[in-house]
Structure 1
């Protein structure tokens, strides 16, 4: 499967594709979405997208363009951006409103053998341009991945990874609060929590940060995987916060 590089930078889903470095994971591509989009016939790609992404109201997801500043940040710092439009059934009495929800999936930046503080700070540095891109895109509610501030090491069952745990108002939350205030953005911040008020119990927790940088609340993970050696209860047990709903400036949200 080969890709012919044109003189112009191609666009896929409204996003300009960065020049290939030749070190992508699949045939020079670092994005499965772009690999499929470039090499499948449009009608086949649409069907594959339906299987991978589902439908919205019985129709294929609609790609939308993103602002130039967001695209420029992604190209400079070498991460992918994609944007899609989801619609809901029109109500009879209320006008529709647009809520922009962003999702970030990041990798670690340093080897897991590096000092833990260096690993955490390197992840912060990697996330900064992604947070700026979300702000430039007008994201209202931004969701980060589970335990984003550390390697996802729970399959190792090694106690030392608990050193990454922090209070809900700890360093990672403080880091994100500044971006929440800067971009008027709600941020869902999933961390490995250390409950310093209750025997330093460890929890898998999502902290909901308001658009003013305030902490709206938290939710502790309810369903803990126990599959063979992959047993997250080595680190934390089922949460005790129930199923809360959080009132934000952009609507009510739940976290699971």
Structure 2
């Protein structure tokens, strides 16, 4: 089985959309120069995380996919010979918007998109105001270097999404993310939240026997009220963290992973073999009432 070199781009953002895009392009080139074959950017990397408020002006940040950003990224993908995973604010048509990730192959070909399925609505994360839930299902992308699935931020808390994507043939699960701490929180709460976030994703790696790559933004936003916690990481198929970025700084990291580990772990820990698919129908219900 092949190895593949994964590039993580963890960065801070400004209010200038073009500046953020050019910064990401520079970091993609840096990752490619270090040998990266697949480069994953964080959620909504062309802007500040605007979902902290419900403001109609923010809809102006959206664009079609494929569109201007994917056209520029396609040129870089072809030039550098890398696959790019790019999370963008999609304008599907007038009044219809999605939180969407585009995938571009190493020859610059636009392979398709995944639209975020699970949309949160929490203080400072008012995504339901902006995003229509995904309606094209879970996706895998067969690229030059690997077949992988993409899920987005809030999707990472749902084992069903990871399972389905893995069953479709994903060798790697990528999670572009934008999550942080309120700066008013105490350190114990911060630690508990980060650990839960990483643990649930490592559990997807274990349950499905695949590598998980999670890429988060970093830095202070929302006038200093929110600190995005970075901490981007790569987990092997048994939940071992192979690399974890800092909580404070921008980073470009390239790491080689061995896709052959999936067969080894799935053989020795045959969770897929022992699934009782005949018993899982209740999972399609919202809640199971005893009566």
TM-score of the superposition, structure 2-length normalised? 0.50
The higher relative CO (CA closer than 8 Å, separation ≥ 6) is in 2
Give the secondary structure class of the aligned counterpart of 1:100. strand
1:105 and 2:16 equivalent? no
Shift of 1:251: 1.6
1:129 and 2:26 equivalent? yes
After the TM superposition, list the runs of 4 or more consecutive aligned residues in structure 1 that deviate by more than 3 angstroms. Answer: none
| Alignment partners' CA distance in 2, 1:128 and 1:251 | 22
- Which structure has the larger Rg? 1
| Alignment partners' CA distance in 2, 1:122 and 1:189 | 15
| Alignment partners' CA distance in 1, 2:22 and 2:143 | 27
Q: Which string of whole-angstrom CA distances, capped at 9 and with x for unpartnered residues, describes residues 220-254 of structure 1?
A: 00111122463210001211121111111112110
What is residue 258 of structure 2 aligned with on the other side?
A: none
1:221 and 2:126 equivalent? no
| Alignment partners' CA distance in 2, 1:139 and 1:146 | 19
1:211 and 2:106 equivalent? yes
| Structure 1: segments with no counterpart, 5+ residues | 1-95, 113-118
Aligned length: 151
1:249 and 2:132 equivalent? no
| Alignment partners' CA distance in 2, 1:164 and 1:228 | 21
TM-score of the superposition, structure 1-length normalised? 0.56
| Alignment partners' CA distance in 1, 2:83 and 2:70 | 12
Matches within 5 A, 1:193-204: 193-196=90-93, 199-204=94-99
Aligned partners of 2:104 and 2:110 also within 8 Å: yes
Shift of 1:125: 2.8
| Alignment partners' CA distance in 1, 2:20 and 2:126 | 25
Give the secondary structure class of the aligned counterpart of 1:101. strand
Give the secondary structure class of the aligned counterpart of 1:226. coil
Alpha-carbon distance change, 179 to 245 in structure 1, aligned in 2, over 3 angstroms? same
- Which of the two has greater strand per residue? 2
| Alignment partners' CA distance in 1, 2:51 and 2:38 | 27
CA RMSD in angstroms, aligned pairs only: 1.5
